Amino acid sequence: MGKNYFKKTAKLVKNREFRDVLSNSHSYKNDIITLHIAKNGLFKPRLGVSISRKVGSAIVRNRLKRLIREAFRQNRSDLAPNYDYLVIFSRKLAGKSKSELMKITFSEITDKFLALAAKGK
């Protein structure tokens, strides 16, 4: 596991943390995700993920969450260290079939996440 282990301290966990990010953030959007970015004063980036049940089954939702967490974990050194990142998956994904959602790749999620995070710097 080593250096890039995704610890609980790198996650937004509590409802209050999610609300703080939403109320004090700048948001950026693309076709898959909306990214809310807010200062946290902790000198380390943290990630929160939200996805509606309307998007798909638990299998699909959990896969998308795993992909975005891994993209964050692998690229955390490239992100601004004192910000919280809240990823909300678009409800536009609800109109897609399970097979279409399962075709979303790790590189696609990573590229879209990093593009939005770069706008926030």
User: pLDDT tens-digit profile of 65-109?
Assistant: 999 999 999 998 899 889 999 999 998 998 899 999 999 999 999
Q: What is the pTM of this model?
A: 0.90
Question: Please, what is the Cα angle at 19 between 62 and 52, to 5 degrees?
Answer: 30
In the chain, which ranges are E strands? 26-29, 33-39, 46-50, 83-89
Domain ranges of the chain: 7-119
* Cα diameter, the chain: 41
Note the CATH number of domain 7-119: 3.30.230.10
pLDDT at 32 over 80: yes
